[in-house]
Amino acid sequence: MDNSSAPLNGTWASRWVFILAATGSAVGLGNIWKFPYIAGEYGGGAFVLLYLLIIALVGVPVMVAEVMMGRRGGMSPVNSMKKLAGQAEVTSRWKALGYLGATAGFLILTFYSVIAGWALYYIVAMPTVLVGADTEQVAAVFDGLLASPMTMLLCHSVFMLLTVVVVLQGIYRGLQRAVQVLMPALFVMLLVLLGYAATSGGFNEALAFMFTVDFSKLSSEAVLVAMGHSFFTLSLGLGAIMAYGAYMPKEVSGKDGRRRPVSIGSTVLTIAFLDTLVALVAGLCIFPVVFANGLEPGAGPGLLFQTLPLAFAQMPAGIWFGGLFFVLVLFAAWSSSISLLEPLVAWLVEAGWSRPRAAIVLGLAAWLIGIGSVLSFNLWSDKTLFGETVFGTLDFLTTNIMLPLGGLLIAIFAGWVMKDSHARKELNMASFKVYLGWRVAVRIIAPLAILAVFAHGIGLI
Ligand code: PHE
């Protein structure tokens, strides 16, 4: 590779490292905390099926577009968009898409760190204050956490520090090393927990709950929730995957020493498959515990932090498995949060900043804004903006507005603005039919679907 096209921020060592990093970004609180509770709330099997369909029809094509644009751009999302717009001979204002995404990622980081901090707290609480706890005691621990700004601030600070420490070390010593440890550990822990869940009763009920499809349970809102979630869970629409795509090698050496192009299509399929697998396995770890203890699967956002600790606290050796479970949540959230910070850091590095300085300044800023989310659960819980707390406003603004908008613009750019020949060359797909299928998805299916989500998000439908 000639140096002029080598990304300033580095390149992943191999296709597998890219897969680990992108899977690390995708697998996070969305899979372990959110997916089980929304699947529980929206009726189980039918929702799961719908989610799988949307991942296949919308999520995968948009992810292919994002990785493709990132790799072709080879820089931070802002500068990649500038470069791609130049190549497509359209206005360089398209770089606004990069700013939009990087800002969204940064804002998500501010509250993602607060929720991930809860997992950190439960790692300690599970084998200590939660031992043998009953319903009221478990509720009291959760309420106590929410009511204590200092405890939440401490956990939020530690988590933000973990994120910054990885990002400031750059691709090779930071991100690459982190995902190579975190992701295999995550998969091993998930398997251990699955084994535990499969043998501790309630497993068949969990299987039936998740895979018996009853369409009468499906509401129109469920369709939109499934769609929004498929974007969030695959980390789409905010440039995180675009930034990671920029570090993806164009070629790798095969065993015979010959250089082979790295296929974006099959790589993305692997990532989407792993992300989906983790969400399903997380469900299969959580629901048996829920059913074995006669708990409520539609308990909502508290499922992970209230219902589950209760079940673990009551089981033999449950506190240890419970502790392990929250280590898993922490690792998943950690490998996602680094991808939220990376796009902006990469952009500042391209502007001449040193990486440590960029990571520390941005991390500090995100930490500071995050305090608003910490206080949303206690001191500022009655301070609202448009009827929402700081946390609620940031969550709404990013998930329901910025993310769908970013995804829509990415689909439009890849499908309508970029030259067909450029997209085709970068994707380098073996089958022309598959390429055509992707093009239809990205030009028509994805934009229409995202517009529907967007309209729902701002309350139009
Ligand atoms: N995909 C992550 C999750 O499921 C969240 C995330 C979104 C991370 C967007 C990076 C970018 O938790």
* pLDDT tens sequence across 64-111: 999 999 999 999 999 999 999 999 999 989 999 999 999 999 999 999
Expressed in angstroms and rounded, the spacing between residue 427 Cα and the centre of ligand 1 is: 24
Sign, Cα dihedral of 135, 139, 142, 144: negative
Instruction: Among 35, 232, 244, say which to mutate for ligand 1: greatest number of ligand atoms within 8 Å of CB.
Output: 232
Domain CATH for 440: 1.20.1730
- Whether 25 lines ligand 1, by a CB cut-off of 6 Å, is yes
Q: Quick check: 3 pLDDT over 50? A: no
Whole-angstrom distance, CA of residue 67 vs CA of residue 446: 16
pLDDT, residue 7, reads: 63
- Whether 235 lines ligand 1, by a CB cut-off of 6 Å, is yes
C-alpha distances in angstroms, 228 versus 34, 206, 407, 451, 453?
A: 12, 24, 10, 11, 6
Expressed in angstroms and rounded, the spacing between residue 406 Cα and the centre of ligand 1 is: 14
Q: Among residues 188, 241, 191, 170, which one has the least CA distance to residue 21? A: 241
Q: How many domains does the chain have?
A: 1
The H-or-E segment that residue 270 falls in is helix 264-292
- Torsion angle, alpha carbons of 147, 150, 155, 157, to 10: 140
Closest ligand 1 atom to 333 CA: 12
Expressed in angstroms and rounded, the spacing between residue 231 Cα and the centre of ligand 1 is: 8
Q: Quick check: 401 pLDDT over 70? A: yes
In a domain, 2, yes or no: no
Expressed in angstroms and rounded, the spacing between residue 314 Cα and the centre of ligand 1 is: 32
In a domain, 4, yes or no: no
Contact 107, 394 (CB under 8 A): yes
Expressed in angstroms and rounded, the spacing between residue 128 Cα and the centre of ligand 1 is: 30
The model's pTM is: 0.90
- Whether 339 lines ligand 1, by a CB cut-off of 6 Å, is yes
Using N-to-C axis directions, what is the helix angle for 403-412 and 95-125, rounded to 10°?
A: 140
In a domain, 342, yes or no: yes
Q: Which domain holds residue 437?
A: 15-457
In 3-state terms, what secondary structure has residue 68? helix
In a domain, 5, yes or no: no
Instruction: Among 33, 118, 159, 339, say which to mutate for ligand 1: greatest number of ligand atoms within 8 Å of CB.
Output: 339
Whole-angstrom distance, CA of residue 105 vs CA of residue 96: 14
Expressed in angstroms and rounded, the spacing between residue 244 Cα and the centre of ligand 1 is: 13
In a domain, 240, yes or no: yes
Closest ligand 1 atom to 241 CA: 11
Whole-angstrom distance, CA of residue 416 vs CA of residue 380: 45
Strand partners, 252: 260
Strand partners, 251: 261
Whole-angstrom distance, CA of residue 62 vs CA of residue 48: 20
Whole-angstrom distance, CA of residue 24 vs CA of residue 332: 7
In a domain, 7, yes or no: no
In 3-state terms, what secondary structure has residue 260? strand
Average pLDDT over residues 335-352: 94
- Whether 399 lines ligand 1, by a CB cut-off of 6 Å, is no
In a domain, 318, yes or no: yes
Q: What angle do CA 23, 27, 30 make, to 5 degrees?
A: 150
- Whether 262 lines ligand 1, by a CB cut-off of 6 Å, is no
In 3-state terms, what secondary structure has residue 74? coil
Closest ligand 1 atom to 234 CA: 1
Q: Using pLDDT thresholds of 50, 70 and 90, give the confidence band for residue 361.
A: very high
In a domain, 6, yes or no: no
Reported as a single tens digit per residue, the pLDDT across 4-60 is: 455 677 888 888 888 999 999 999 999 998 898 888 888 889 999 989 998 998 999
